[in-house]
Amino acid sequence: MMYYTHFVFGILVSLMSLNFFSISNSLLFVLIILLFSVFPDIDLVESKIGKKNKPISKAINFIFGHRGLMHSIYIPLILFFIFYNTNNKVGIAILLGYFSHLFMDALTKEGIRPLRPIINKRINWFFKTNSISEKILFLAITFIDLYLILKYI
């Protein structure tokens, strides 16, 4: 998926999550979810986040490739356990944002291998990245986001 689809889905996840957790700083919680909804694509130099962090992006891509380790469940679980012990809401926000990215990439034809290298099974669906079907999905999620934002105002 393109960064903007990950971003609007991150907004949706954050808006829905605010109902389930007692958050003292809602803005920070939402921003962390949004950051981690696009973060896994740091393994792709051409991505929005990869372009802003080229040396890191190139190194990760060289070692693991795109949709390798950064698109597995290991990194978000490690980050969750590190930050949950410091601030449980930050850990939850990281996990939600990161898993929102993995979920959306699992909807693409390319898919993800969430348990790689232990299990090499790919999870994928039919959306082609940057296709008309993804743009329709983007618009649908955007309308849902707008509806929820207007509902909360």
pLDDT digits (tens, 9 = 90+) for 55-113: 999 999 999 989 999 999 999 999 999 998 888 899 999 999 999 999 999 999 999 99
How many domains is the chain partitioned into structurally? 1
Task: Give the residues across from 116 on adjacent strands.
Answer: none
Residue 89 is part of which domain span?
3-152
Q: What's the pLDDT score for residue 122?
A: 92
Place of tokens 């940057």: 130
pLDDT at position 80: 96
Q: Please give the full DSSP string across 31-73, using - where no structure is assigned.
A: HHHHHHHHGGGGG-TTSHHHHHTHHHHHHHHHHH-TTSGGGSS
pLDDT computed for residue 22 by the predictor: 86
For residue 117, what pLDDT band results from cuts at 50, 70 and 90?
Answer: confident
Residue type, 96: L
Can you read off the two tokens belonging to residue 148?
Answer: 């929820």
Instruction: Give the pLDDT score at 87.
Output: 85
**CB environment 13-51: b (16+ within 10 A), e (fewer):** bbbebbeeeebeeeeebbebbbebbbbbbbbbbebebbe
pTM above 0.85, yes or no: yes
Q: Is the pLDDT of residue 153 over 80?
A: no
